[in-house]
Structure 1
């Protein structure tokens, strides 16, 4: 490590170190692949010719690019072009070997993306979402001059998958009005007639979701791999949409027991076996499943988190793996590291400890990391977004930075989190935000009572939904927190609902059980603006001015009220959307947060 690198603190090295995503390869040209990397300081899409190990940056935009797909023949790179992170735009494409970009499907208006499917025969389905029209799916057949509408509905939906021959289209939809539990409709192309429907919400007291995982990669095969919740967790099954038959897969561990947590799957290229991912209690593992023999075989992956995996034609599986202590790399079941970002490997960090705390809705799982020295420590409660997401034993530069500065870090997988079964995820309804804060509060009380956390130096922090919970927690639990750090938060829920993208409006209606007009008391109780007068802690807010998920107007409303009340606060607005894809910007934001904490916590707290 050179002298210049030594001068850069470890926390900043972790942010600046180049990263790569799991490569996505072309079905008919497996040596052609795409991945996303921040090697230039901004997250962009890269083309990788594996036969020559040639790498080429395919996109170059000031605010970065991450949404891209490779055509099945490997000839074209498709990427989504929005404006400064606002997520509203069109698909463009360029030759894999390089060349000018062009609008991929002229005639499809700019919108929020609702998915994309690229067929082997040149069939294309583009999904769009707008406030005025809801979800629209456009079909362009090979040789057609104009796209045609093949599906439209006011409720949110999206492209599932195209069958191998391009004659069937699976659509994930929420026409029943429950955005947390989707249904699947299969359409015959080009006319768009319904072939089959799988809906486990309509007419049921306990709704179950289903989701498209992909058609079998074989000619004439009408089997669709589907995820379902019939057993109270996500599991895969096979649905032959032509025959109308369903085959639930009996997946058991080495002791013959059903797996806890959630299971997902994807087809292997031979269409005779599946790659299975098991996600449970903040960690994940991989298996291979032989459909004919009904045999499940564990694949060798280290303890930690698999953030993505893909089965290659040669039988190996490539996966992106990391743990809280060890940075990520793209590995293979062959034992090789397939793809590592250029430059120095970032410094490692501290392993996580698993903690279970009794909460009002059941046992709450939290991940704890301790800095050097003895406690009680100043502690950051880093709250995850989603809300249907979870914190995992994976490498993250943000928590590692707080550890370097002498803070313990606690991350709570509150009710609403995934990976603990459907009941835990679905508990987040009606008392939105307040339910999660009950679980966070229970872990907070444990952290203080156990001697981990100093009760006078507790920072509540989070981004997106985590930022929302931070602001709501400062108002509803004002004596529990010393400081608050909220990034891209919901701050004024009613105004956020009016301004946010349609997909999130649909989710909010499901969470609250109605619109603000139908159940105003629920929306009022769950809005941070309602409780702003009770806020005691200094609060720092950062927001993207082009954010379609947590729009800037509702944040401005909350900040204006803080100012009127004379509350201690600082605000940082930046020119991007729901977060930034620029490394320097991310570092700047964390520096501002650290500086805010340094000035408002007890002297000497921050190293």
Structure 2
């Protein structure tokens, strides 16, 4: 184990989780990728026979990637007793052109299939508690989160951070460059309006029966606050917290700290802790 920075007082190497690459089967005979992190702490441990809760992360983009380099958002969870599965679903960069192009016209399908397949792979290996799996994602990852909640019973809860809930509204409001991006990921708009509607979480809301936390910036012009507000009204067991000054992607330290604390408390409440 090698560090490139000096650890702060009270933190040791045993407190830093490292990633294990996972390759697992997914839909249509394909394979998908993820990074798995076991909980890491020098001061606490699971009870004998206990399996950790699992946080599944769906990255944004959606053609970004989960990176194995040090990430505070991962360490936050692993240092608090959670395992983390950071999914590089089909469409993620870094795995070749064919893998990247596998998300063409399949956003809202392949990404969800791969997140669900990744959870099943982790559970099959006995690496997490099946009763305490949650999923989180930001921006495009928020759409994946909500779709996964609507299409499976694997999760106890989920969190959407400034996430997409209405693809049709996104297509109508976005600028021309991003519009071409959506054409490739879903189909041309408005010709494929029916596809946009079918893959939007806002039309799948009745399938979501577990608690959902929405965290959104009041000044977000990429994915307007109205997307979270509209989705919130359709879900009985949900909560929305707005950071009025934040845009798309939280920037202020106080916001980031509050959002993480709020999300942790949300899961603890769901788990009955």
2:126 aligned with 1:451: yes
Aligned with residue 139 of structure 2, among 445, 464, 467 = 464
Asked if 2 retains the 8 angstrom alpha-carbon contact of 1:465 and 1:490, the reply is yes
Which one has a bigger Cα radius of gyration? 1
Residue 376 of structure 1 aligns to a residue whose secondary structure is coil
CA, structure 1 residues 534+351, in 2 after alignment: closer, same or farther (shift >3 Å)? same
Q: What residue number does 2:55 align with?
A: 380
Residue 31 of structure 2 aligns to a residue whose secondary structure is strand
Q: Which has the higher relative contact order, 1 or 2, with Cα contacts under 8 A spaced 6 or more apart?
A: 2
Q: What residue number does 2:156 align with?
A: 482
Aligned with residue 36 of structure 2, among 368, 392, 397 = 368
Q: What residue number does 1:420 align with?
A: 95
2:33 aligned with 1:359: no
Asked if 2 retains the 8 angstrom alpha-carbon contact of 1:378 and 1:457, the reply is yes
Within 2, Cα distance between the matches of 1:454 and 1:467? 23
Asked if 2 retains the 8 angstrom alpha-carbon contact of 1:431 and 1:522, the reply is no
Q: What residue number does 1:599 align with?
A: 269
Residue 77 of structure 2 aligns to a residue whose secondary structure is helix
- CA drift at 1:359: 1.6
Asked if 2 retains the 8 angstrom alpha-carbon contact of 1:504 and 1:549, the reply is no
Q: What residue number does 1:250 align with?
A: none
Residue 100 of structure 2 aligns to a residue whose secondary structure is helix
Within 2, Cα distance between the matches of 1:535 and 1:456? 16
User: Where does the alignment leave 5 or more consecutive residues of structure 1 unmatched?
Assistant: 1-322, 330-342
Pairwise mapping of residues 269-348 of structure 1 onto structure 2 (< 5 A)?
A: 326=3, 347=11
- CA drift at 1:430: 2.2
Pairwise mapping of residues 399-438 of structure 1 onto structure 2 (< 5 A)?
A: 399-438=74-113
CA, structure 1 residues 346+425, in 2 after alignment: closer, same or farther (shift >3 Å)? farther
- What is the total number of aligned residue pairs between the two structures? 261
2:136 aligned with 1:440: no
- CA drift at 1:344: 5.0
- C-alpha offsets along residues 422-451 of structure 1, whole Å, 9 cap, x if unaligned? 111111122321111111111111111111
Within 2, Cα distance between the matches of 1:600 and 1:578? 27
Residue 204 of structure 2 aligns to a residue whose secondary structure is helix
Aligned with residue 502 of structure 1, among 153, 176, 185 = 176
Pairwise mapping of residues 255-274 of structure 1 onto structure 2 (< 5 A)?
A: none
Residue 469 of structure 1 aligns to a residue whose secondary structure is helix
CA, structure 1 residues 602+449, in 2 after alignment: closer, same or farther (shift >3 Å)? farther
- C-alpha offsets along residues 142-174 of structure 1, whole Å, 9 cap, x if unaligned? xxxxxxxxxxxxxxxxxxxxxxxxxxxxxxxxx
- C-alpha offsets along residues 331-369 of structure 1, whole Å, 9 cap, x if unaligned? xxxxxxxxxxxx958946111111111122522221111
Asked if 2 retains the 8 angstrom alpha-carbon contact of 1:580 and 1:586, the reply is yes
CA, structure 1 residues 436+345, in 2 after alignment: closer, same or farther (shift >3 Å)? farther
Root-mean-square deviation (CA, aligned residues, Å) is 2.1
Asked if 2 retains the 8 angstrom alpha-carbon contact of 1:380 and 1:460, the reply is yes
Residue 571 of structure 1 aligns to a residue whose secondary structure is strand
Within 1, Cα distance between the matches of 2:21 and 2:165? 31
Residue 572 of structure 1 aligns to a residue whose secondary structure is strand
Within 1, Cα distance between the matches of 2:177 and 2:216? 20
Asked if 2 retains the 8 angstrom alpha-carbon contact of 1:468 and 1:528, the reply is yes
- CA drift at 1:544: 1.1
- C-alpha offsets along residues 504-537 of structure 1, whole Å, 9 cap, x if unaligned? 222112211210x201221122100111011011
Greater fraction strand = 1
User: Where does the alignment leave 5 or more consecutive residues of structure 2 unmatched?
Assistant: 40-44
- CA drift at 1:326: 4.3
- CA drift at 1:542: 0.5
Greater fraction helix = 2
- CA drift at 1:496: 2.2
- CA drift at 1:386: 1.1
Aligned with residue 570 of structure 1, among 234, 239, 256 = 239
